Amino acid sequence: MARRFARGEYLGFHLTIGLAVSLVGLWLFGAITEDVVNRDSLTRFDVTVLEWLHAHATPAGVAVFAAISRLGSPVTMTVLAVAVSLLLASRRAWIVLGGWVAAFAGAGLLDQWLKFVIRRPRPAYAAALLHNRTWSFPSGHAMGALVGYGMLAYVLLILWKESRRTQLEIIAVTTLLIAAIGVSRLYLGVHYFSDVIGGYAAGMLWLSTCISGVEVARRWQAGNSSTTS
């Protein structure tokens, strides 16, 4: 038990926290999915939020949130994934690169699989902005933003680990950006509230898994290096 919570152990404290976060994400996603499938009270709240936002939407607001939404689009995520992959490859950070690629690829596959299995129709207002028929739950933008920008924040935290203030700024900016992308999907009427929260929950589960895997591999490598040197 002491080793499980030891910060220096490669299977220690950070892995325990990662497993705990993953379990929270799994539980939250399961609870939301159950409500969506069974059309429980959460789905009625979805309609209330959707109608309120639609009634208060303005052309200027739609333009602003459409721009914010594009920051979580598949095109933006792909550009981000490729750009940082090249950077990590140039620095020969192979373990982090493996986790980075796994995070993006896994999030995309998980999003498509969950949409196909659950098959929740989009809100009626989505037809005005989306010309291709896609399923609504979970929100791919919410999941992709949390995984993509969450991994980016993780990489930046590794690079600036000496500056506590910079780390806090990275976390704050990342949190605000992810939240703004989720709100944009609600404001535009292309997702329900539970779609966005479900996307965050699934993203939290996958992000925590990827970061935990990278940290275990990095600390294991560091431990082997110190042993052989």
Question: Tell me, what's the pLDDT at 113?
Answer: 95
Domain contains 177: yes
User: For residue 4, is pLDDT > 50?
Assistant: no
Report the range of poorest mean pLDDT among 109-118, 120-129, 203-212: 120-129
Calculate what percentage of the chain has a pLDDT beyond 90.
Answer: 65
Domain contains 43: yes
Question: Is the pTM higher than 0.85?
Answer: yes
User: For residue 5, is pLDDT > 50?
Assistant: no
In order, the DSSP letters of 116-175 are HHH-PPPPGGGGGT--S----SS-HHHHHHHHHHHHHHHHHHHHTTT-HHHHHHHHHHHH
The model's pLDDT over 136-167, given as tens digits with 9 standing for 90+, comes to: 999 999 999 999 999 999 999 887 777 788 88
The domain tally of the chain equals: 1
User: For residue 10, is pLDDT > 70?
Assistant: no
228 vs 180: which has the higher pLDDT: 180
The model's pLDDT over 33-66, given as tens digits with 9 standing for 90+, comes to: 998 998 888 999 999 999 999 999 999 999 999 9
Question: Tell me, what's the pLDDT at 1?
Answer: 47
Domain contains 225: no
Domain contains 33: yes
Calculate what percentage of the chain has a pLDDT beyond 70.
Answer: 90
Confidence of residue 226 (pLDDT cuts 50, 70, 90): low
Range of the domain at 101: 14-219
Q: Is the dihedral of CA 91, 18, 199, 169 positive or negative?
A: negative
Domain contains 179: yes
Domain contains 63: yes
Domain contains 224: no
Residues 216 and 10: beta-carbon distance below 8 Å: yes
Domain contains 229: no
